[in-house]
Amino acid sequence: MLLQALSQWFSGHERVRVLAHLAFVAAEMPVIAIALSATYGGAIRRSLPPVRALLACVFVAGALGLVFGAALFWIGQYYPNVRLHPSPEPSLPRTLLYGFTYAQLQAGLWTLAFVLPFAIDDARMRALEAEQLRSAAELARLRANLEPHFLLNTLNAIAGLVGEDPREARKLIACLGDLLRDALTDDDEMQALDEQIAWLQRYAAILQARHGEALRFEWRISAEVRGALLPRLLLQPLVENAVKHGALCRRGGGVVIVSATIASRPSAIVCTVEDNGPGAPDIEVRSGAFGLHAVRKRLELRYTGATLRLESSSQGTRSIVEFPHHALSGLAREAEGTVH
- Residues 311 and 187 occupy one common structural domain: yes
Query: Residue 134 domain-assigned?
Result: no
CATH number where 203 lies: 3.30.565.10
- Residues 313 and 224 occupy one common structural domain: yes
Query: Residue 223 domain-assigned?
Result: yes
In angstroms, the CA 204 to CA 210 distance is 10
- Residue 278: the pLDDT is 86
Q: Are 323 and 260 in contact (CB under 8 A)?
A: no
Among residues 66, 98, 128, which one ends one of the domains?
A: 128
Residue type, 182: D
- Residues 24 and 49 occupy one common structural domain: yes
pTM of the predicted protein model: 0.57
- Residues 30 and 70 occupy one common structural domain: yes
- Residues 109 and 170 occupy one common structural domain: no
- Residue 67: the pLDDT is 87
- Residues 82 and 229 occupy one common structural domain: no
- Residues 197 and 316 occupy one common structural domain: yes
CA dihedral defined by 193, 196, 202, 205, rounded to 10 degrees? -60
Please state whether 322 falls in left (phi above 0), alpha (psi between -120 and 50) or beta: beta
- Residues 63 and 150 occupy one common structural domain: no
Query: Residue 133 domain-assigned?
Result: no
Residues of the domain holding 32: 2-128
- Residues 80 and 162 occupy one common structural domain: no
- Residues 59 and 171 occupy one common structural domain: no
- Residues 160 and 27 occupy one common structural domain: no
Mean pLDDT, consecutive 10-residue stretches, the chain (340 aa), reads 67 67 78 88 83 86 86 74 61 81 85 81 80 70 61 75 80 80 67 89 85 91 87 85 88 91 80 89 54 78 82 89 67 42
- Residue 155: the pLDDT is 80
The total number of structural domains that make up the chain:
2
* Burial of residue 137, with CB atoms counted within 10 A of its CB: 0-12 exposed, 13-18 middle, 19 or more buried: exposed
Query: Residue 182 domain-assigned?
Result: yes
Of 127, 150, 135, 130, nearest in space to 234 by CA:
135
Query: Residue 65 domain-assigned?
Result: yes
Among residues 128, 153, 168, which one ends one of the domains?
A: 128
Among residues 99, 128, 157, which one ends one of the domains?
A: 128
Query: Residue 172 domain-assigned?
Result: yes
Q: Are 321 and 302 in contact (CB under 8 A)?
A: no
- Residue 86: the pLDDT is 57
- Residues 116 and 178 occupy one common structural domain: no
Q: What are the CB-based long-range contacts (under 8 Å, 24+) for 196-202?
A: 196/230, 196/232, 196/233, 196/234, 196/235, 197/221, 197/226, 197/258, 197/260, 199/233, 199/236, 200/235, 200/236, 200/239, 200/258, 202/175, 202/178
Query: Residue 136 domain-assigned?
Result: no
Query: Residue 121 domain-assigned?
Result: yes
- Residue 156: the pLDDT is 77
